[in-house]
Amino acid sequence: EPEVTQTPSHQVTQMGQEVILRCVPISNHLYFYWYRQILGQKVEFLVSFYNNEISEKSEIFDDQFSVERPDGSNFTLKIRSTKLEDSAMYFCASNQQGDQETQYFGPGTRLLVL
Amino acid sequence: GENVEQHPSTLSVQEGDSAVIKCTYSDSASNYFPWYKQELGKRPQLIIDIRSNVGEKKDQRIAVTLNKTAKHFSLHITETQPEDSAVYFCAASKRDNNDMRFGAGTRLTVKP
């Protein structure tokens, strides 16, 4: 069964550095998402992406965040200048039809900002 | 925006008992309500979902009920087993909006 994959599984970075988190959605999916989960807390929506543009974003997704689909398979989340509070698990998800359909989550990237 | 509240935050039951987790939502336009199970250190996985055109859905030991008037929905797990132990999240989203909002989660412990 196809799965969403994410790399790296863990990343440690210094405050102020840029990080890029990578995701490979399921191949026939058209909608892509990023979520964040701070340790022990709820899953928080960051952004959704369809047809090469952002379709929705939350209040968390400020100017330091950006997303890109640089080729036909990868979907990336860039954090330009990391802050301590960006430490969290970042999940990518995808689905075929967007709203009202199951979203399939990747295994996550655990980001630690020191 | 949508606000999803989830209760209880922790729930401990004996194996074989039932477990009920409740969520409320604020946006009356929300019409899709999935439930995710997340085991420690793993990804959230969908266990059941319900759309607003139905009031109840069942899949073996798991059922979800939806009351649109009251804006609440519940997860029911019957005949609980130790492997049901996990954190369960409810979520809500609306048509033509991909911004899915999660509840705070319920840590379910099933004691053998």
pLDDT tens readout for residues B41-78: 889 999 999 988 889 999 999 999 999 999 999 999 99
Percentage, residues of chain B above pLDDT 70? 98
| DSSP sequence for A64-76 | TEEEE--SSS-EE
Contact A9, A107 (CB under 8 A): yes
Closest-CA distance, B21 to chain A, in angstroms, reads 15
Instruction: List the beta bridge partners of residue B19.
Output: B77
- Confidence label for A72 from pLDDT (cuts 50, 70 and 90): confident
CB B95 within 8 A of CB A100: yes
Tokens of A86: 């960006």
Predicted confidence at residue A73, as pLDDT, reads 85
Cα distances (angstroms) measured from residue B55 to each of A106, B51, B67, B74: 30, 8, 7, 11
Query: How confident is the model over A22-40, as pLDDT tens digits?
Result: 999 998 899 999 999 999 8
Neighbouring CB atoms inside 10 A of A58's CB total 18
**pLDDT at B85 > cutoff 90:** yes
- The residue among A4, A31, A35, A45 with the most chain B CBs within 10 A of its CB, best to mutate, is A45
What pLDDT score does B53 carry?
Answer: 81
The answer to whether residue A100 neighbours chain B at the CB level (below 8 Å) is: yes
